[in-house]
Copies of this chain bind each other. A is one copy, B any other.
Amino acid sequence: MPRHVVIIGGGFGGLCAARALAGADIAITVIDKRNFHLFQPLLYQVATGLLSPAEITTPLRHILKKQRNVSVLLAEAVDFDPAGRRVILADGEVDYDYLIVAAGMVNAYHGHDGWSTFAPGLKTMEDASTIRQKIFYAFEVAERERDPALKQAWLTFTVIGSGSTGIELAGMIAEICRSSLKGEFRTIRPEDAQVLLIEAADRILPGYPPDLSVKAARALDRLGVRTLTGARVVSIDAEGLVYAHPAGRTSIPARTIVWSSGVKASPLAERLAEKTGLPTDRQGRLMVRPDLSVEGYPEIFVIGDMAHVRGKDGRPLPGLAPAATQQGRYVARLIRKRLAGQGEARPFAYFDKGTLSVIGRHQAVAAIGRWHFSGFLAWLLWLFIHLILLINFENRLIVLTRWAFQYFVFSRGGRQLCQEGILKLPISKGGVSESFKPLNRC
């Protein structure tokens, strides 16, 4: 009976671990509550209607179909039994000999969970769909609204948090307003919409070198995004938000708010910490051993965004795809060595490939080691890297086509509002005008 390796999560880490175990004389089960691998770096393009879900997802079964030692299981892992070496599912359980936990992160609202209703974050495909519908629905309501103040509130788009996702979203929303929707309405001008980016730190992109923050801020300004730094959000509701700054508090009426100001480890991290006694950091990430295993349970590994692993500089590794894939490959190698009785491996070492964020047309920032650059070259690099990292050739071709059309004619096809989605949005009914009169009948 071959050994059974169970992998929880089909993201970058889990998928890489599974692939790196190809051909080994083991049975692998990849458990995910969704049936697809999501190319998260382009999720913001789905959230803004440029790409479709099918273009950045690939069914896990399809990716792994030729790897005969892998089974994919659509199921939700909810708990662990480390002593009995079992994963508890919502509707069953699975035994393991080795366990790799790679369940990623979820949105975190720092004790204000009620904010999620009004300011969805962008971690899942469902999130992307919600944000996309909120954005395009806001213009529809604004077109019908006759109260100028409410019209303006519907035309105010606010992104909270200016990490990579935050600036990418703000840049895209600005492009929707200035280009994609131009000329399509009769009582509003989408290009007059306000796009705000709110950051609690004293500069945007706080994880990047300061010179790139300056360049990014300048690029966003040219796109028409208003950036507010040193602004800490203190409340969010259906009408808008309030932020605190050194001079006091300011309230912004805004009906479309996106949260990209915090993530925390998947709730599974807490379950595992409780069962194994493993400590967690402030974001709920598990403090694993240098070989990514769990203290006292050498057969359990935690990889990807869920793991707190320190880099050469002593700081925890960023939640990026390269960290997850390197960890997946490392753990796969380590399991192969153990199965071959070759003793312990060297600690995991992260090879930093740098970071890249796109801001808009011809604009991106890149920090690769000591090399910082921005502008057109960084933008081309971003396009190229993201295109080749897409997992299948068909999607690569289709994404390239979509990008080309957006580049040349500002098209944006993913704008369907589904009925059910609209009904679920928290819309203040009073705001919609009773009787519709188009203003500029020609």
Interfacial residues, chain A to chain B (CB-CB below 8 A):
2, 4, 27, 29, 33-36, 49, 52-55, 57-59, 61-62, 65-66, 68-69, 71, 73-75, 89, 91-94, 124-126, 129, 136, 140, 143-144, 181, 183-186, 392, 394-395, 397-398, 401-402, 405, 409, 411, 413-420, 429, 432-436, 438, 440-442
Query: Inside 8 A of A405's CB, which chain B residues have their CB?
Result: 394
Q: How far is the CB of A350 from chain B (nearest CB, A)?
A: 31
Q: How far is the CB of A395 from chain B (nearest CB, A)?
A: 7
Contact check, B416 vs A2: say whether CB atoms are below 8 A apart: no
Partner of A434, one of B49, B61, B92: B92
A35 lies within 8 A of B415 (CB) = yes
Additional A-B contacts beyond A54-B416, A75-B144 (4; CB < 8 A): A36-B415, A73-B436, A74-B140, A398-B402
Residues of chain B with a CB closer than 8 A to A66's CB: 183
Note all chain B residues with C-beta closer than 8 A to A394: 401-402, 405, 409, 411, 413
Copies of this chain, how many? 2
Contact B4 A184 (CB under 8 A): no
A432–B438 CA distance with the chains assembled, in angstroms? 54
Q: Are B395 and A398 in touch, CB under 8 angstroms?
A: no
Contact present for A441 and B74 (CB under 8 Å) = no
Pairwise interchain contact B442-A35, C-beta atoms closer than 8 A: no
Task: Please determine whether B55 and A413 come into contact, CB atoms closer than 8 angstroms.
Answer: yes
Residues of B within 8 A of A91 (CB): 429, 432, 434
Expressed in whole angstroms, the Cα–Cα distance for A420 and B125 within the complex equals 11
B74 and A417 within 8 A (CB): yes
A29-B432 in contact given A61-B184, A416-B53 (Cβ < 8 Å):
no
Q: Which residues of B contact A58 (CB under 8 A)?
A: 413
Do residues B397 and A401 form an inter-chain contact, with CB atoms below 8 A? yes
| Known A-B contacts A29-B438, A401-B394; A35 and B69 likewise in contact (beta carbons under 8 Å) | no
Cβ of A2: which chain B residues have Cβ within 8 Å of it? Answer: 441-442
A69, B441: Cβ atoms closer than 8 Å: yes
In this complex, what residue of B is CB-closest to A187?
A: B71
Q: How far is the CA of A147 from the CA of B9 in the complex (A)?
A: 27
B441 touches A35 (CB 8 A): no
Which residue in chain B gives the minimum CB-CB distance to A74?
B140
**Cα-based distance from A142 to B420 in the complex (angstroms):** 29
A34 CB contact (under 8 Å) in B61, B186, B416: B416
The answer to whether A144 and B65 touch (CB under 8 A), given A58-B413, A416-B36, is no
The answer to whether B420 and A126 touch across the interface, beta carbons within 8 angstroms, is yes
- What's the nearest-Cβ distance from chain B to residue A59, in Å? 5
Residue of A2, A36, A186, A436 with most chain B CB atoms under a 10 A cut-off: A436
CA distance A401 to B435 in the complex (A): 44
B413-A73 in contact (CB<8A): no
Contact in complex: B34, A184 (CB < 8 Å)? no
Question: Are A436 and B92 in contact, with the CB atoms below 8 A?
Answer: yes
Q: Is the CB of B433 within 8 A of A92?
A: yes
Q: Can you name the residue of chain B whose Cβ is closest to the Cβ of A433?
A: B92
